[in-house]
């Protein structure tokens, strides 16, 4: 199992957008340049965030992306869901229903294996939903206070 690489890009991108402020629209190319990433692919990730309603996108000169909500109202779960989709990692194929002569009980609820897996995924989602962009932002600022100014400088240039 492997999470898409774009998730890392998206989270860092959202953080940088948070530091840039909700007024300043930042082009995908500039966000990508900050980490020396291919701008077209970074653009793809930002498009996904836009479709999910996490960022606004404006075309044309002076355009770019900016956060659609306050960092307090964006959770890591939102970002992950925007990039990875909302489907569960474990997808029950109901192989139990393919037994030769099934032992009756047609409508016996959901597969118990599936339920166990979903319980675990719920714990994962809950933990992701408990972390907001603002939390993460605050932690980075405590750990490296010079980062916000550095980001703003590079994104404004």
Partner DNA sequence: GCGAACCTACTCGGATATGGGATGTCCGAGTTCTCGTGG
Partner DNA sequence: CCACGAGAACTCGGACATCCCATATCCGAGTAGGTTCGC
Q: Give the chain's end-to-end CA distance (angstroms, integer).
A: 39
**Which residues within the stretch 76-115 sit at the binding site for a second copy (CB under 8 A)?**
76, 84, 87, 89-93, 95-96, 98-100, 103-105, 108-109, 112-113
Cβ pair 95, 113 in contact under 8 A: no
Contacting residues toward DNA, per CB under 7 A? 2, 4-6, 27-29, 38, 40-41, 43-44, 46-47, 50-51, 57-65
Q: Considering the complex, what minimum distance in angstroms separates the CB of residue 36 from a second copy?
A: 5
How far, in Å, CA of 140 to CA of 38, rounded? Answer: 25
**Smaller CB distance to DNA: residue 68 or 134?**
68
- Tokens (6 digits) for 35: 């980490």
* β partners of residue 56: 66
Residue 51 binds which of a second copy, DNA, none (CB < 5-8 A, kind-dependent): DNA
Task: Note whether 12 binds a second copy by CB under 8 A.
Answer: yes
DSSP codes joined into one string, 70-135 = -GGG-BHHHHHHHHH-SS-SS----GGGG-TT--S-TT--S-HHHHHHHHHHHHHHHHHHT-BHHH
- Tokens (6 digits) for 110: 């959901």
Task: Note whether 150 binds a second copy by CB under 8 A.
Answer: yes
Residue 113 binds which of DNA, a second copy, none (CB < 5-8 A, kind-dependent): a second copy
**Which residues within the stretch 39-78 sit at the binding site for a second copy (CB under 8 A)?**
76
Q: What is the dihedral of CA 14, 131, 136, 90, to 10 degrees?
A: -60
Contact positions toward a second copy, by CB under 8 A? 1-5, 7-9, 11-12, 15, 34-37, 76, 84, 87, 89-93, 95-96, 98-100, 103-105, 108-109, 112-113, 116-117, 119-128, 131, 136, 139-140, 143-144, 146-147, 150, 154
């Amino acid at each position: 199992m492997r999470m898409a690489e774009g998730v890392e890009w998206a989270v860092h991108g959202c953080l940088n957008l948070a530091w840039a402020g909700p007024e300043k629209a930042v082009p995908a190319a500039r966000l990508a340049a900050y980490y020396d990433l291919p701008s077209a692919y970074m653009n793809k990730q930002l498009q996904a965030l836009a479709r999910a309603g996490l960022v606004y996108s404006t075309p044309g000169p002076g355009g770019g992306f900016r956060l659609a909500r306050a960092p307090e109202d964006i959770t890591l779960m939102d970002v992950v869901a925007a990039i990875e989709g909302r489907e569960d990692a474990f997808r029950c194929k109901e192989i139990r229903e393919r037994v030769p002569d099934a032992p009756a009980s047609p409508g016996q609820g959901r597969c118990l294996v599936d339920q166990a897996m979903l319980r675990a995924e719920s714990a994962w989602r809950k933990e992701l939903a408990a972390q907001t962009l603002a939390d993460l932002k605050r932690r980075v600022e405590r750990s490296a206070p010079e980062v916000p100014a550095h980001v703003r400088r590079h994104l404004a240039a």
